[in-house]
Structure 1
Amino acid sequence: MSTKRIGFLSFGHWGPARGSSTPTAKDTLLQTIELAVAAEEIGIDNASVRVHHFAPQLSAPFPLLAAMAARTSRIELGTGVIDMRYENPLYMAEEAGVADQISGGRLQLGVSRGSPEPALNGAHAFGFVPPEGMSDADLARHKLEVFMAAIDGAGVVASDPRMTGVSQALAVQPQSPGLARRIWWGSGTRATATWVAEQGLNMQSSTLLTEDTGVPFDELQAEQIQVYRDAWKAAGHDWEPRVSVSRSVMPITTDVDRLYFGGEQGSDDQVGYLDGGYARFGKTYAGEPDRLAEELAQDAAVQAADTLLLTIPNQLGVEYNARLLETIAKHVAPAIGWVPPAERALAAV
């Protein structure tokens, strides 16, 4: 098992809700950068953002990731996830190359075919309409193939000999070595987990699985992870992939915490109907830090994954979320096998 990492995942909400620290888009964007800086100082391994379109949430990740990169030096910077239905894969490859170069090779980009959204055929409004016989999901996977080839240095367009003097295939620029092994696909089922492994991608699994077998969420997700790892081995890839899971973890140590999240204590999985089928939603972990440590240590999927992404209430502001992350880092994460980066570095000497 590789090193256990923890990170935060921000959905980047903004709006004039009572008590919100992010009434505007500018507030959310600038505070996301500041939280990445604070998280790095605490010792958190990863700062990731969710991507939504046509909603008051974070939408265009690469300018934000580049800004986060310019203000930090160690922490991984990621997405969970970019909806490929909306992307021009070659322009995305250029943006990813730029942001990864600025970060010094710290991007960990999660992508997928997207999730249910408020827009009706939103990607079509961006000009991306699947050709006849192809679904939106099919087009997203095709774009992934083009994107992966582009960041791996493939020639994607013929040169103009009048400009170059020779006829050759040109790759997008800039290239960023190693980025192709830092791409993740957001998987919601065991069947998709097999496909992700076959593509040679890392896997992200969130607090939602778009299938249900009646077993607890963490056990179903752990089964998904095992399916992925078995398929990876069968595919014969020559490198070790990573797997992340997301959890809502809310330590309660103050009256303010209790006011916001006390009602989540003792919550359980939920099963609902989503996108034409049953789905299982993972519970929120809320309570005293020592109890959360015990519960997460028994979470089968958290134990099976190498990275735990903590969904945060970004509208409560940088100070609140930095304190939340510091509490988890000190009192909860060690129970799942996490070791602060500074201690890892000393152990490696």
Structure 2
Amino acid sequence: MQRFGTLSFGHYGPLGGGRQLTAADSMHQAIDLAQGMDELGANGTYFRVHHFARQQSSPMPLLAAIAARTERIEVGTGVIDMRYENPLHFAEEAAAVDLISDGRLALGVSRGSPETVVRGYEAFGYTGSTDPRGADIARDHFETFLRAIDGEGIAERDASSPFGGGAGMQRIEPHSPGLRSRIWWGAGSRDTAEWAGRTGVNLMSSTLLTEDRGIPFDQLQAQQLEAFRAAWHEAGHPGEPRTSVSRSVFPLVTAEDHLYFGHSREGEGVGYIDGMRSTFGKTYAAEPDELVEQLKADAAVQSADTLMLTIPSQLGVEFNLRIVESFAKYVAPALGWVPTTQERADRE
């Protein structure tokens, strides 16, 4: 494990007892938490994206705000639903955030998670899908998005325009030359992982896989990562791609930790999502020494270079920052992690 960060579901709404977490609260707290993590030396802060729900739905402004208030931490998503995106506008936004952050954007995209509405992307104007889950729309949008961020000419220049002469096909602006290397695809199956490898983008693998092969979840996920890397190299892409997995990990350090998570040792399971038989990952909650041994035995955590910790964002900045700090202090170093603050000091 070379890097770790947090994956926030960004929930807001009633908290019970008459308390309310507003959308504004959620975003301001995300910025404050990212600043604290940046100071700790954590590597990334990533956000789930859901439409028609009390969660983050348009993360680019939030990522730009975090990028402007931090120095080292990677800012990203896990994942943006491409069924809902105008690929050219999205390419402009992504390039802008990447430039603002000085190349710290890690943009995870995919077909998206199960929705709270029926074919919500059609309400956004994207119709004509022949797939019941809109996967064909997501892939088409993604292909156009990649062409745009690669700097390919998209529209023909108007030679008579007062804003610039000449001829030829023009790329979208702004353009961030290194952005393609920081694009990730969220894959829920081996087939999709292999497709991502052939396409030449990084891989995000979640705590839910839309397949069941009769083996433990971590081994199934490790096989997915291995298949992805094999497809990457077979396609002839240079270098090594990045891979990430997400886990719910809670070091039990204080009495409050035990109160909240002492009974959260949930085992993995099998169920149905979007009509597909799926395998779910488990929750890790234990004393730090025990957590280290558990995560060392997790085949996928050991295979991936980045671990995303799913956090209970509704519990506030102070509480979540303490979870991150406990993981960074008592668990992550034993897994091979070096804080970004130390990496910078070593270089200097």
Q: TM-score, normalised by structure 1?
A: 0.95
Other-structure match for 1:137: 135
Instruction: List aligned pairs for 1:304-343, cutoff 5 A.
Output: 304-343=303-342
Other-structure match for 1:284: 283
For 2:171 and 2:95, how far apart are their aligned partners in 1? 12
Distance apart, 1:59 and its partner CA: 0.7
Other-structure match for 1:272: 271
Alignment coverage as a number of residue pairs: 346
1:10 is aligned to 2:29: no
Other-structure match for 2:255: 255
5+ residue gaps, structure 2: none
Question: What letter corresponds to residue 12 of structure 1 in structure 2?
Answer: G
1:66 is aligned to 2:29: no
Other-structure match for 2:47: 49
Other-structure match for 1:75: 73
Q: Which runs of 4+ in 1 moved over 4 A?
A: 19-22, 131-135, 346-349
1:207 is aligned to 2:228: no
Aligned partners of 1:210 and 1:280 also within 8 Å: yes
> SS at the partner of 1:264?
coil
Structure 1 residues 259-300: Cα deviation after superposition (integer angstroms, max 9, x where no partner): 2212113x2101101122210100000111111111011111
Distance apart, 1:152 and its partner CA: 1.1
Other-structure match for 2:198: 198
Aligned partners of 1:21 and 1:27 also within 8 Å: no
1:178 is aligned to 2:144: no
Among 150, 155, 160, the residue aligned to 1:157: 155
Aligned partners of 2:119 and 2:133 also within 8 Å: no
Aligned partners of 1:22 and 1:315 also within 8 Å: no
Distance apart, 1:339 and its partner CA: 1.4
Distance apart, 1:255 and its partner CA: 2.4
Other-structure match for 1:114: 112
Per the alignment, do residues 132 and 248 of structure 1 end up closer, same or farther by CA in structure 2, a change over 3 Å counting? closer
For 1:337 and 1:165, how far apart are their aligned partners in 2? 55
Per the alignment, do residues 135 and 250 of structure 1 end up closer, same or farther by CA in structure 2, a change over 3 Å counting? closer
Aligned partners of 1:294 and 1:335 also within 8 Å: no
Other-structure match for 2:229: 229
For 1:112 and 1:119, how far apart are their aligned partners in 2? 18
Question: What letter corresponds to residue 45 of structure 1 in structure 2?
Answer: N
> SS at the partner of 1:28?
helix
Other-structure match for 2:87: 89
Distance apart, 1:167 and its partner CA: 2.2
For 1:133 and 1:40, how far apart are their aligned partners in 2? 41
Aligned partners of 1:39 and 1:325 also within 8 Å: yes
5+ residue gaps, structure 1: none
Provide the aligned C-alpha RMSD in A: 1.6
Per the alignment, do residues 287 and 150 of structure 1 end up closer, same or farther by CA in structure 2, a change over 3 Å counting? same
Distance apart, 1:139 and its partner CA: 1.3
Distance apart, 1:135 and its partner CA: 6.6
> SS at the partner of 2:57?
coil
Percent identity of equivalent pairs: 55
1:29 is aligned to 2:19: no
Aligned partners of 2:210 and 2:276 also within 8 Å: yes
> SS at the partner of 1:16?
strand
For 2:337 and 2:20, how far apart are their aligned partners in 1? 31
For 2:158 and 2:18, how far apart are their aligned partners in 1? 54
